[in-house]
């Protein structure tokens, strides 16, 4: 059940993330990374689709009982495939499951018919049974996690948690101080690691002065600006006429959205290194 609907969900994600390699994208390494990311997603989607053809699975049964504390609706917060992370809510999509007190439930994926199942819990696991197939989810830290053939789906109870990362509205200027390195990036709801990329992006914040530097092909380009803080957002007025908005997130990272084309943004996530 979960594999079949996940395959449909990934196919929809692939359509939603049909990013055009427009001429306005000037960072060759970033463009190559995005292209490779799309190819990897297509290959992984094909692999998940192939799982639907498996026929000789043993008849499954449920072991355990209904746990009332788990009843309610759970939302897919993240879907992880190798080094790619997808945020369904950011992309305007939903994957959720509902656990009822009578041992029934349903799984919903955007634009798909809900699929019914029965469920039971034992120890730190929740089993879902549908059409003779069992999916097992692990309960940990108030999350339910499905790990199936290299794909990981993480469910949370609150749909407010299954949204884009929240800005720390009460951030003060000292929260931004220090040196920061961009370790993750996201495009159209897909998140990827930047640690193996052939370029480097850093932030240095000293008081109200902010320096953004990018290293590519051994060359370093940097600019410095003066920042004004309001509601968790540090607006930096650059000396080159370009302004930046740095947002402090509740998880302690800094987020920067950079315009690649007129309708396409690439988001950098910085972690503090000093």
Could you give all domains of the chain from N- to C-terminal order, each with its CATH number? 2-52+59-156 (2.40.128.280), 173-272 (2.40.128.280)
The phi-psi region of residue 85 (left if phi > 0; otherwise alpha if psi is between -120 and 50; otherwise beta) is beta
Residue 140 neighbours by CB distance under 10 Å: 10
Q: Provide the pLDDT for residue 101.
A: 94
Q: Provide the pLDDT for residue 179.
A: 96
Q: Provide the pLDDT for residue 22.
A: 36
Mean pLDDT by 10 residues, the chain (274 residues): 61 51 48 66 65 52 85 89 74 83 91 89 92 89 86 82 72 94 80 77 92 85 88 82 84 85 79 91
Q: Provide the pLDDT for residue 273.
A: 92
Residue 46 neighbours by CB distance under 10 Å: 13
Nearest to 84 by CA among 48, 56, 136, 112: 48
Length of the chain: 274
Q: Provide the pLDDT for residue 86.
A: 78
**Distances 110 to 106, 114, 147, 151, 185 between C-alpha atoms, Å:** 13, 9, 21, 18, 25
Radius of gyration for the alpha carbons in the chain, expressed in angstroms and rounded: 22
């Amino acid at each position: 059940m979960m594999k079949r609907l996940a395959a449909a969900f990934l196919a929809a994600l692939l359509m939603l993330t049909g990013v055009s390699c427009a001429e306005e994208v000037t960072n060759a390494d970033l463009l190559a990374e995005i292209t490779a990311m799309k190819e990897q997603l297509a290959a992984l989607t094909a692999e998940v689709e192939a799982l639907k053809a498996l026929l000789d699975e043993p008849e499954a049964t449920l072991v355990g009982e209904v746990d009332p504390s788990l009843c309610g609706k759970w939302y897919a917060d993240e879907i992880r495939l190798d080094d790619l992370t997808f945020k369904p809510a950011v992309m305007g999509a939903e994957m959720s499951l509902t656990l009822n007190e009578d041992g029934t439930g349903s799984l919903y994926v955007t634009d798909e018919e809900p699929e019914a199942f029965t469920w039971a819990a034992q120890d730190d696991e929740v089993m879902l049974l549908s059409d003779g197939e069992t999916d097992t989810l692990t309960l940990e830290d108030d999350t339910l996690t499905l790990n199936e053939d290299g794909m990981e789906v993480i469910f949370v109870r609150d749909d407010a948690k299954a949204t884009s990362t929240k800005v720390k509205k009460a951030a003060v200027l000292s929260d931004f101080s220090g040196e920061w390195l961009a370790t993750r990036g996201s495009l159209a709801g897909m998140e990827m690691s930047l640690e193996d990329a052939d370029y480097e992006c850093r932030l240095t914040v000293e008081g109200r002065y902010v320096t953004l530097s990018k290293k590519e092909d051994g060359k370093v380009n940097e600019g410095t600006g003066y920042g004004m803080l309001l509601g968790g957002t540090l607006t930096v007025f650059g000396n080159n006429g370009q302004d930046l908005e740095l947002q402090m997130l509740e998880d302690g990272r800094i987020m920067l959205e950079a315009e690649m084309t007129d309708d396409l943004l690439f988001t950098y996530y910085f972690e503090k290194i000093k």
